[in-house]
Chains A and B, each alone.
Chain A
Amino acid sequence: MSFVGTPVRRKEDPALLSGRGRYADDLPTPAGTLHAQIIRSPHPHAEIVHIDAVAALAKDGVWTVITGEDIRKMSDPFLVVLKAPVHQWSLAVGRVRYVGEPVALVVAESRYLAEDAAELVNIEYRPLEAVVDPQAACAATAPLLHTEAKTNEISVRKFSYGDTKSAFERADARVALTVEFPRLSFTPMECYVVVAQYNAADDGYDVLANFQGPFSTHPVMARALRVPGPRLRLRIPPDSGGSFGIKLSVFPYIVLMALAARIAGRPVKWVEDRAEHLVAASSGPNRITGIEAAVTKDGRILGLRLDQLEDYGAFLRAPMPGPLYRMHGAITGAYDIANVDAVNRVVLTNKMPASLIRGFGGPQLYMALERLVQCIAVELGLDHLDVIRRNLVPAAKMPYRAAAGSLYDSGDYPRAVATAIGHGRLDDLKRRRDVARAAGRKYGIGFAAVVEPAMSNMGYLSTLLTADVREKAGPKNGAISMVTVNIDPLGAVSVTADSTMQGQGHETVLAQIVADQLGLQPDDINVVLEMDTAKDQWSIAAGTYSCRFTPGTAVAAHIAASRMADKLKDIGAKQLNVLPGDVELVAGKIRSRSNPDNAAPFGRVAGTSHWSPVMLPEGMAPALSETAQWAPELEPPSSDDRINTSLTYGFVFDMCGIEIDMLTYQVRVDRYVSMHDAGRILNPMIAEGQMRGAFAQGIAAALYEEYAYNDEGAFLTGTFADYLVPTVSEIPPVEMLHQETPSPLTPLGAKGLAEGNCMSVPACIANAIADALGVKDVQVPATPRRIHALMEGSGR
């Protein structure tokens, strides 16, 4: 019997349900720890004229007030992939560029005191004109965020795959559309926490933070602190209260608190509050996409053109502009489109810096592509679903090399669609629509088909650079995962891994995988996922992001455990006096397959390497610890800019019916069906939880959440009363369906599955709204105000 594939209950739960979690703010702090309060910019764009901290420093219990000038002397700006003169330190230097930007840090004996003192710090600003709109920011006359860069549009790259020009020439028709995707975040319930210490003896920093990775940011932090990597010891606590990409962006604060600890000569702790989180933690980038298709009259897409303008806010932070490139190889989505031209543009504006967020570029891409497909149907007078099916990558073409370079490893998209619409589901939606429309109500049906990448090729971001610059810099590609399986003297098993956890159930899934290989129960496997960069194995790919766990870390666990199992079988064979091929690990025993009575307890055999290495088979290295490094082949970008951006590619097909309330202009989701093919499912209960969580976030993006700024750059959504996180009342029921086409590229066959609905839901709902109202421009979140404007505008 195998635990992989079954809904094993979570090992994590008993502690978390009893208030015994160990989140960053719960852990003990070193003696003498001081507390920090950040003073943030009230201006979207201004020069810092003067900072007067005299009154604050005079207060009892205040240790220091740190400014950008102090930080500039002690640290270097953060590295970014793009070589543009856009310098960011952990505090504003000379100028502020968004509301909420950290300007000064007060360090005091308690947080309450630090907050009091912060009010006494007097900062004089000279306001500058701000630019918020990404298109306006590209204009030659726009105020410059970084004068040395001489432009706000700091990167423009043109890509061409196939022969798009002739595809457009021979097309029967062209369909074009402009789509905007807004700013939002998935605001984990736990905010950032950092506890930093400076150790003068080795000139090193020791920092605890609820960082999620990717660990490619560790060298960025170490370089900023001017120390070699080993002297930035980063510890990640065992529990973290959600992340969804956001907890990458704690990294500038890690550097800030490390410097503060050095200046204060004491450990410094900072806990972000919700107001700070909303105004300045991180946001997904907003994107404006101009997209155009060359189509035959029956809706076959011959070629695509995209112009993607992505707004990263005031600074580009590593690993940005990831969202613009992470989907690049798969820019044609689920469709078999041979010719595509794309222009990728990066612009800076006076908003908080954008960064990782679940879906990572997928929601932006699919909002454009899936809206386009719906428009093709409308403009050619075809059925939307027919146009989707006519263009889907056929099963016979799998594995499929997409035009821009992604290798879709497996799948049967047409079958997934057929299953989803089957069993009367589509007929039911149509019936509901017809009944509603007959009664004069506004009802629409939407569809979306998306390819969901998982485990990023670490080289994808270098597609941003031209081929000759890449050549000089040397190739970047691949992605490593590492897991270690340890055996203790009494044969107890423990596992460490290179993923960080924020509730995804990794502990349980790793225990399932290892238990299967060693013939034990998941409860027998101790999984320790807190991390210490000084002692644990990690690579730049480590961390939890872009669905790397299932195709990455889980595979490394499988390999490490199976190697350990092989060794234990050899040891067992010697002790049982049988051939190694006759040994099996079952039910906590090591035993002979042919004579199951010839058996020894797992623990006794497994402990052999500790107690009597002499009893090991000739030449065998002791079976104490096995580390597996899983490094599947992923090529760097080719000289013609083709890039296989990820290792595995799953598929999601959504369909929904929505109705618009004619009195309140609210969009009500009437029925929602979501079909997934994520390869082999390791734990169906946890998988379903991930998908439902992503679905809720997709609904949030479609209908509720947006980080809003006014034209002057003021931030308008600074509390949970303005930034509308859905409660249970706002999340409609969803029917989840599954198909399993294992990935041929990993031994477990599992793909990513936790981001697909973040990508599909906003597009699917936007398509349904377009269908309901017969409009082309649908802006998400589709709030009542926007729906009302659409209905007024279209005279309906």
Chain B
Amino acid sequence: MRRIDKDQRARIRLTLNGRALSAEAEPRMLLSDFLRHSLGATGTHVGCEHGVCGCCTVLIDGTAVRSCLTLAVQAEGRDVRTVESLAAADGTLNPLQRAFQNHHALQCGFCTPGILMSFTDYLARNPRPSEADIRDVLSGHLCRCTGYAGIVSALLEAAGYRQSSESGSKS
């Protein structure tokens, strides 16, 4: 395992959304800060920096983690995915993102990237969860705007319970 002195800046290499990237960081730098400020991936948000709100959730090797509770050095050599990776290159939203738009599952959108990343992981592992399961996972995230109803509807659509409605619908 690589050893890094606590006061020494080190170059950290990882794969971000399929691209190999690197930047210098102190060992104490949070992964959330590293992604946002060193690598310029500002889609990941920071809402509490103490592991409660879920805004900062990203995937490391496919598993959802809170990047505010992870040091940048811990992501060394790993495959990191953030919300910027979800839509197609031409901007077409994926089914989960579309479901969020269909069900008005976001207002300010600040909590949204974290929820999308949590459920990208969760739905990949559990393609057919129950509503109770969905609510259980969602309870790891705070949203101040929506009251959650639209988010639950969107997640039900993404899990295949509802016909996708492209017209814009009420939940």
Q: State A694–B104 Cα separation when bound (angstroms).
A: 15
What's the minimum C-beta distance from B68 to chain A, rounded to whole angstroms?
A: 10
Q: State A504–B116 Cα separation when bound (angstroms).
A: 20
In B139-170, the 8 Å CB interface with A consists of 139-152, 167-170
What's the minimum C-beta distance from B30 to chain A, rounded to whole angstroms?
A: 10
A728/B148 contact (C-beta < 8 A), A242-B110, A720-B142 known: yes
A112 touches B26 (CB 8 A): yes
What's the minimum C-beta distance from A523 to chain B, rounded to whole angstroms?
A: 13
Contacts of A692 in B (CB 8 A): 146-147, 149-150
What's the minimum C-beta distance from A724 to chain B, rounded to whole angstroms?
A: 10
What's the minimum C-beta distance from B23 to chain A, rounded to whole angstroms?
A: 14
Residue of B48, B141, B142, B143 most packed against chain A (CB within 10 A): B48
Count of residues in A whose CB is under 8 Å from the partner chain: 57
Among candidates B84, B104, B143, B152, residue contacting A688 with C-beta atoms closer than 8 Å: B104
A13/B100 contact (C-beta < 8 A), A21-B43, A685-B170, A720-B50 known: yes
A20/B43 contact (C-beta < 8 A), A9-B168, A689-B146, A695-B147 known: yes
Contacts of A244 in B (CB 8 A): 144
Contacts of B152 in A (CB 8 A): 728
Among candidates A13, A18, A685, residue contacting B43 with C-beta atoms closer than 8 Å: A18
Query: Which among A46-54, A181-189, A768-776 touches the partner chain?
Result: A181-189
Q: State A694–B141 Cα separation when bound (angstroms).
A: 18
A727 touches B142 (CB 8 A): yes
In A655-698, the 8 Å CB interface with B consists of 684-686, 688-689, 692-697
B107 touches A242 (CB 8 A): yes
A684/B170 contact (C-beta < 8 A), A17-B100, A18-B91 known: yes
Cβ of B41 under 8 Å from chain A = yes
Cβ of A725 under 8 Å from chain B = yes
Q: Closest A-chain residue to B43, C-beta based? A: A19
- Mark interface residues in A170-212 (1 if CB within 8 Å of B CB, else 0): 0000000000000000111111000000000000000000000
Contacts of B167 in A (CB 8 A): 7, 9
B139 touches A728 (CB 8 A): yes
Q: State A12–B109 Cα separation when bound (angstroms).
A: 9
A-B contact pairs, 21 of them (CB 8 A): A8-B168, A12-B109, A13-B106, A13-B109, A17-B93, A17-B106, A17-B116, A18-B84, A19-B42, A25-B36, A112-B28, A190-B108, A243-B108, A274-B47, A502-B108, A503-B108, A503-B145, A684-B170, A694-B147, A719-B48, A719-B52
A: residues with CB less than 8 A from B are 6-10, 12-14, 16-21, 23, 25-26, 112, 186-191, 239-244, 273-275, 502-505, 684-686, 688-689, 692-697, 719-721, 725, 727-729, 731, 733
- A7-B170, A274-B48, A503-B145 are known contacts; what are 6 more A-B pairs with Cβ within 8 Å? A7-B169, A9-B102, A13-B100, A17-B83, A17-B112, A19-B82
B: residues with CB less than 8 A from A are 26, 28-29, 36, 41-45, 47-50, 52-53, 55, 82-84, 86-87, 91, 93, 97, 100-102, 104, 106-113, 116, 135-136, 138-152, 167-171
